[in-house]
Structure 1
Amino acid sequence: MMENGPPPSYSAESLKSARDFGAAFAPPRLPDIPVSEVFAPLPGGEPDVKLFVVNAKPGAARPAILHSHGGGYILGKAAWEVGHLQALARDLDCVIVSVEYRLAPETRYQGSIEDNYAGLLWLYKNAEPIGADPTRIALLGESAGGGHSALLAITARDRGEVPVAFQALVYPMLDDRTGSTRMPPPFIGAFGWDAPSNRFGWEAFLGHPPGGGSVPAGGVPARIENLTGLPPAFIGVGGIDLFVSEDIEYGHRLIESGVPVELVVVPGAFHGFDRIAADTTIAKRFTKAKVNALRRAFGQPQEI
């Protein structure tokens, strides 16, 4: 990566071509783990949101995960994550529902929050037909998906319809001030996702320039004042990830709000390292920590 130089920053001009780029990195689907597509209704006459249901087993009562994919709020597809999710569902003996939420800037944060909440509500109401335990639902997301999962945990708490047992936030995108009004040192955010991309992603998501005092707080987990009553959390991030400081700070605020938190910071790890360099020792150790956190939340034995 260093020899090839840093990845290009995302912008309105590069967005269209960038959106097709991730398909080449989608893993193949596993033939022995079932996948189905369903649609969850949205309020207000909006189009139904597509869900991928991974590893359903009618008649069982296994733990469940509601997954939101990454992509800076502007990129990515749930369809590209299915192979990864099949492997995780097999390892945890659980069912996973992944949401094909609408992307920014075409849809602002209010719409994608509703998409993800519709997925969570569908999972909860259809727990029995897909073999899920409605008392053991965890939220999982990477990068912007981690931001969506954090927002979803807050939304579920506030609406009081769906009990969420756990939130696993993998290098989550939580604070619009990073890279706008709060600049990290140059070695942080040099790989994977940089400050210009972060500014563009947040402005697309919020419909408002990031970093200022008039940013709509409802779209930014780090700007939510009340974090009490949220489910226990795992937060994992690399030490040179652009999001490292905001993720540590969010974990600190959760702890001070009485929320149990496991915080893992991996020295020398950049954004997305566990996917790009999955066979490295640090990536394997990080993934094991994430999976074990989910196992504990589900009441399953730990992987040694």
Structure 2
Amino acid sequence: MTQQQREALDTIFRNGALDIGGDPAVQREVFTGMLTSRPLPDDVILTPSVIGGVPVLEVEVEVEVEVEPVGTLLWFHGGFYVLGSPRTSAALASDVARRTGMKVISVDYRLAPEHPYPAALDDAVAVYRAILASAEGRNSGRDVVPDPGRIAVVGESAGAGLAAALLVAARDQGLAMPAAAVLFSPYADLTLSGDSMKTKADVDPSFTAEAIARRAVDYVADADPADPSISPVFADLRGLPPLLIQVGTHELLLDDAVRLAARAAAADVPVSLEVTPGVPHLFQAFAAMLDEGDAALVRVAEFLAASLVATRS
């Protein structure tokens, strides 16, 4: 059945109205409509909040017996730094929350071109700092070491590149590392130098290199696209927590994921790279209709469970 499922998903993408290289205002509406057209399950609770001065959306799955979530997923949505919001990624985020028993804090970081680099990274660091601070004890005004072993970072596409950049920035600023990070199809090279930008052009049903290049200019603006804080494939990744990177072979961004994993491995970072054949960008969001998507999220849940246990043992 998976071949039929993959073909059906490919048709959905190819016939969709989204043009990521089009007018941002128009495409934001299209993007939002595509990803929020189906209602979330009734037990998913969305709570807008502000953390570290940045808007966030807390995503939780209601349970019959009230229990403390086993940890927090700090989530960064996709959209090439120009489109999207925590609401557009709430379906995938709530699915991962359900499978892991964790609470999601999805960051509504500022978007380009109105807010180019480093606005998104500044927002990411501000939220992460605030989450660490909230984990500190306040007994008699004395601080204790925060428990980063209960925090994992998750990103989709541009959000995955942002998550990687956040980890590097947090390390450089002396902040505690989270237990782990999950990167779905990371957009991690805004120089667009990966070979797959050309070799996968005929099979990627969602994007073109030209459209991605237009969005890259929006985010980079006057900065250098090879800056490691913009393109983590060029960053020093030493000291980062365990990484799980997932990508499909029908993606222009395939080489972003492969090179980021290689960069991490060369820096002695525990990293698992999972390349799923024949599937498009962010296939995990279609776990309900695609066997490979469900299998990928099973591995995500297993990875997070093992990572949280390892840091707390």
Give the TM-score taking structure 2 as reference length.
Answer: 0.81
8 Å CA contact 2:69, 2:103 repeated in 1: no
In structure 2, relative to structure 1, the CA distance for the partners of 1:4 and 1:40 (3 Å cut) is: closer
The residue that corresponds to 2:49 in the other structure is 38
Cα pair distance change 1:288/1:19, threshold 3 Å: same
> Which residue number corresponds to residue 55 of structure 2?
50
User: Aligned equivalents of 1:87 and 1:182: distance in 2?
Assistant: 29
2:266 alignment partner in structure 1: 256
Aligned to 1:235: 245
Q: Alignment identity in percent?
A: 25
**How far apart, CA to CA, are the structure 2 residues paired with 1:180 and 1:245?**
5
Residue identity opposite 1:152 in structure 2: L
Is residue 116 of structure 2 the alignment partner of residue 108 of structure 1?
A: yes
2:23 matches 1:14:
yes
Call closer, same or farther: CA 1:6–1:199 in 2, change over 3 Å. Answer: farther
The alpha-carbon deviation at position 120 of structure 1 amounts to: 1.4
Amino acid at match of 2:24: L
When structure 1 is superposed on structure 2, of 21-30 and 173-182 the one drifting more is: 173-182
Q: Which range moved further: 71-80 or 278-287?
A: 278-287
- What value does the CA root-mean-square deviation take over the aligned residues? 3.0
Contact 1:104 1:204 survives alignment (8 Å): yes
Q: Deviations over 1:122-154 (max 9, x none)?
A: 22222479xx95422111011111111111111
Q: Is 1:156–1:164's contact at 8 Å kept on the other side of the alignment?
A: no
Where does 1:48-197 land on structure 2 (aligned, <5 Å)?
48-55=53-60, 60=68, 62-127=70-135, 134-178=148-192, 183-187=197-201, 190-197=204-211
Do the aligned residues in 2 keep the contact of 1:65 with 1:138 (CA within 8 Å)? yes
Contact 1:6 1:190 in 2 (8 A): no
Number of aligned pairs?
287
- The answer as to whether partners of 2:96 and 2:297 remain within 8 angstroms in 1 is no
Q: 1:219 to 1:160 in 2, by over 3 A?
A: same
The equivalent of 1:204 in structure 2 is 218
Comparing 56-65 with 153-162, greater Cα deviation is found at: 56-65
What SS does the aligned partner of 2:74 have? strand
Q: Which structure 2 residue ranges, 5 or more long, are not aligned?
A: 1-9, 138-145
1:295 Cα deviation after fit: 1.9
Distance 1:277 1:87, change over 3 A: closer
Cα separation, 2, equivalents of 1:296 and 1:23: 34
CA–CA separation in structure 1 for the residues paired with 2:86 and 2:194: 28
CA distance in 1, matches of 2:289, 2:246: 18
From the superposition, tell whether residues 267 and 125 of structure 1 become closer, same or farther in structure 2 (CA, over 3 Å): same
Change (3 A) 1:156 1:209: closer
Q: Which residue of 2 aligns with 1:247?
A: 257
Task: Using the TM superposition, give the Cα deviation of residue 39 of structure 1 relative to its aligned residue in structure 2, in angstroms.
Answer: 1.3
Alpha-carbon distance in structure 2 between the residues aligned to 1:104 and 1:260: 32
Cα gap change, 1:270 to 1:83, in 2 (>3 Å): closer
Matching of residue 273 in structure 1 with residue 279 in structure 2: no
Secondary structure at the aligned position of 1:216 is classed as coil
After TM superposition, the score normalised by the length of structure 1 is 0.83
Further displaced range: 179-188 or 261-270: 179-188
* CA shift for structure 1 position 291: 2.2
Task: Provide the C-alpha distance between the structure 2 equivalents of 1:166 and 1:88, rounded to a whole number of angstroms.
Answer: 14
